A and B are shown apart, each in its own frame.
Chain A
């Protein structure tokens, strides 16, 4: 079907709206001037400074550790939740369960962050744990909200899947646990990988919740970036942003191209 001119111009405008800010950050990251918005000639010096900045490297390392750990927990818990919702039929408390698993998707971050911090403070008063807030508390917080995303991804994959393979295995005498491990899980593996990646990114991305539940001395990468950009545009953050934009774009475009080739 041929597209109307109006639709095409809105599409062009919409994509320009989405991408011009990103392109402008990349452009200014090569600006020699310390005043980030005045052009002072081409330079790559901010990239060099990035790798000599220990604070950035420490924060990045902490963020990556939290993201990998929380994404793994979230994938395990979220896959269980997805299986429960699609394959387990009715059980007591199902309505509450499905409510709890979908609410974190839209819950404002300030509420999630505040509520979890108050939980950790109360727990510390009652049982002495967590003694210190940092890696473990941020990981728990991230697991809780990203397992909801994994559950959504896994659930839609399960819902679209044909149950006949699982039924055939059952008919051939497979126990229900073996069916899950030998048939269901391998079939939903792509959804689990996608869910893990999503959880990983969400965790790397989070500023507000981490600000609430972290303690002194443990700054994640977004917390470090926020403390710098509060004061305005800075050239080294431009360089960092550009690296992230390029890394993500190349990764996604490559995976898109391989998938397209495979499906063609």
Chain B
């Protein structure tokens, strides 16, 4: 039908132009050389119409140790934040799912509420807490536990806390969705048949919640990998994450080709988890 085609065509074209095409352009520029010009990179085709591409940027990323360390640092930091989110988020989601309906909706609201408050301001709030003269150090000194402030700000620890704090709701919501749907009789049945509480958890609850666990972990891990604001505001020189390096290559060094190749490599690292997430989403929908 014609109107159906038009309905498909409009959002389809929008996404092709503003989502897919930009990636082709990043790829194109990552294969160019930087020059001092406007825009600051060499054209893909030279004056004679010949193809002029170079892998120099990618070779540079491979040979310069700093980038390898930064990518590794980002993976480790994102993994650490993901694990702490899971450790804290799973029991929270479980507790919310098992609460009385009246309390449950309030508890859920309190999980969603931070979403609606600016992300930037929530990270900023931690600057006031972690400062040398901030709330945490003041409280610890007042309690007499320490004599002089502990350096929290501008460390990997601050970035780790910032990531966990910002992405915790992304972990709790999908976990809650699967745990809430779970049939409690199954756990009771397992216990009636002689399983201990731990056994019942690992043999019944965990496998049933797995799709939610995967969804939550990926929703934390993937965006945390490219995070810019948190390492910038809370991190120090040793906590270089790849999102910040990309931003600086682009805005500070004005090396567009190198920034583009940093983005391409980050994207390649994320392709597997992103595809995995979409598969998992499809599975979650089937369960519904």
Contact bitstring B82-104, A, C-beta under 8 A = 1, else 0: 00000011011011101100100
**CA gap between A69 and B267 in the complex, in Å:** 30
- Of the stretches A50-58, A165-173, A236-244, the one at the interface is A236-244
**Chain A min CB distance to B100 (Å):** 10
**A43 proximal to B (CB < 8 A):** no
Q: Say whether A144 contacts B39, CB under 8 Å.
A: no
A106 and B114 in contact (CB under 8 A), knowing A6-B91, A97-B12, A114-B263?
Answer: no
CB pair A109–B18 under 8 Å, yes or no, is no
Residues of B within 8 A of A183 (CB): none
**Which A residues are CB-close (under 8 A) to B239?**
none
Q: How close is A46's CB to chain B, nearest CB, in angstroms?
A: 14
Range for the number of chain B residues in contact with chain A: 35 or more
| Chain A contacts for B285, CB-based, 8 A | 159
B81 close to A (CB within 8 Å): no
Q: Is A193 interfacial (CB 8 A cutoff)?
A: no
A233 and B131 in contact (CB under 8 A), knowing A10-B91, A77-B10, A88-B4? yes
Say which residue of A108, A240, A241, A244 sits within 8 Å of B266 (CB atoms): A108
Check if B121 is an interface residue, CB within 8 A of chain A. Answer: yes
CB distance B95 to A11 under 8 Å? yes
With both beta carbons as reference points, the residue of chain A lying nearest to B264 in the complex is identified as A111
A244 interface neighbour in B10, B121, B270, Cβ under 8 Å? B121
What's the Cα separation between A113 and B129 when bound, in Å? 30
* Chain A, interface SS category: helix
Q: Which residues of A contact B223 (CB under 8 A)?
A: 106-109
Q: Which of B11, B116, B184 contacts A1 (CB 8 A)?
A: B184
A177 to B96, CA, bound (A): 42
Q: Does the CB pair B117–A245 fall under 8 Å?
A: yes
Could you tell me the distance between the alpha carbons of A96 and B183 in the complex, rounded to whole angstroms? 35
Proximity bits, A174-215, B CB within 8 Å = 1, else 0: 001100000000000000000000000100110110001000
Contact A201 B98 (CB under 8 A): no
Cβ of B246 within 8 Å of any chain A Cβ, yes or no, is yes
Please state if B226 and A110 are interface contacts (CB–CB under 8 Å). yes
Q: CB-CB < 8 A to B168: which residues of A?
A: 14, 17-18
Report how far A253 CA is from B109 CA in the complex, Å.
8
Question: Which B residues touch A122, using CB under 8 A?
Answer: 25
Cβ-based interface call for B126 (8 A): yes
Which residues 24-49 of A sit at the B interface, judged by CB distance below 8 A?
24-25, 28, 35-38
Counting chain A CB atoms within 10 Å of each CB, which of B1, B127, B281 scores highest?
B127
Closest partner residue, chain A, to B39 (CB atom): A121
Given contacts A91-B8, A102-B278, A111-B263, contact A241 B98 (CB under 8 A): no
Q: How far is the CA of A25 from the CA of B135 in the complex (A)?
A: 10
- A7 and B94 in contact, given A159-B285, A237-B124 (Cβ under 8 angstroms): yes
Pick 11 A–B contacts, CB within 8 A, sort by A: A11-B95, A11-B107, A14-B92, A115-B25, A115-B263, A118-B260, A119-B21, A222-B118, A241-B118, A249-B117, A252-B112
- Residues of A near any B CB (own CB < 8 A): 1, 3, 6-8, 10-11, 13-15, 17-22, 24-25, 28, 35-38, 77-78, 80-81, 83-84, 88, 91, 93, 97-104, 106-111, 114-116, 118-119, 121-122, 125, 140-141, 143-144, 147, 159, 176-177, 201, 204-205, 207-208, 212, 222, 225-226, 229-230, 232-233, 237-238, 240-241, 244-245, 248-249, 252-253, 256, 260
CB-based closest 10 A-B pairs: A108-B226, A115-B22, A21-B125, A106-B222, A119-B22, A100-B15, A10-B91, A7-B95, A241-B121, A144-B18
